[in-house]
Amino acid sequence: MSVWLGVDLGDARVGLALSDPELTLAHPAGNIQAWGDSFHTIDEVIDVIEDEGVSHVVVGLPLQLDGTEGKSAKKARRWAANLVKRMASDDEGRQFVDGTAPTVSLLDERLTTVSAHRQLLEAQISTKGHRPKVDQQSAVNILQSALDRHTPSEGVYGG
């Protein structure tokens, strides 16, 4: 069994979600403070990957409503590419599941933040309490979408 990690990138925080080992449910796994630049979080994300035995990472791709890629989507692609490159570097002594770096994919995350706010309201969490939780909930939504599309015979989500 393996665990997947969902990532919602932001300039203030990067939200994280983890799957269960059966790859059926996503749950919140916290935030990493980004200090104005999500690229500063890559090493901490790699620590989570190692600590949790993650075999696949799903990064939210913030497409525009018309489906085109804007500045944020291009930044997410660069972040994912940097994550792959950093995990591949030999000199870090990384401890990955099965000794290999996890695969990384991008998933359209349009409206996940809107959906996350709605879910938090439905859970009767005050709007004041949304900020720290919305990034995690968005990561849960991204990861759950990937898990719902995944079939065991496919191996890894390919989108």
Q: What is the pLDDT of residue 156?
A: 45
pLDDT per residue, tens digit, the chain (159 aa), is 689 999 999 888 999 999 999 999 999 999 999 998 999 999 999 999 999 999 999 999 998 878 888 998 999 999 999 999 999 986 567 788 888 899 999 998 865 555 555 655 665 566 665 566 778 888 999 999 899 988 664 444 433
∠ CA 83-56-99, nearest 5°, is 80
Domain 3-149: which CATH number of 3.30.565.10, 3.30.420.140, 3.40.50.460, 3.40.50.1820: 3.30.420.140
Question: Domain coordinates of the chain in residue numbers?
Answer: 3-149
**Cα separation of 97 and 5, whole Å?**
13
Pairing of strands 103-108, 54-61: parallel
Q: What is the DSSP string of 40-82?
A: GGHHHHHHHHHHHTEEEEEEEE---TTS---HHHHHHHHHHHH
Query: Kind and range of the H or E element at 137?
Result: helix 130-149
The reported pTM is 0.84
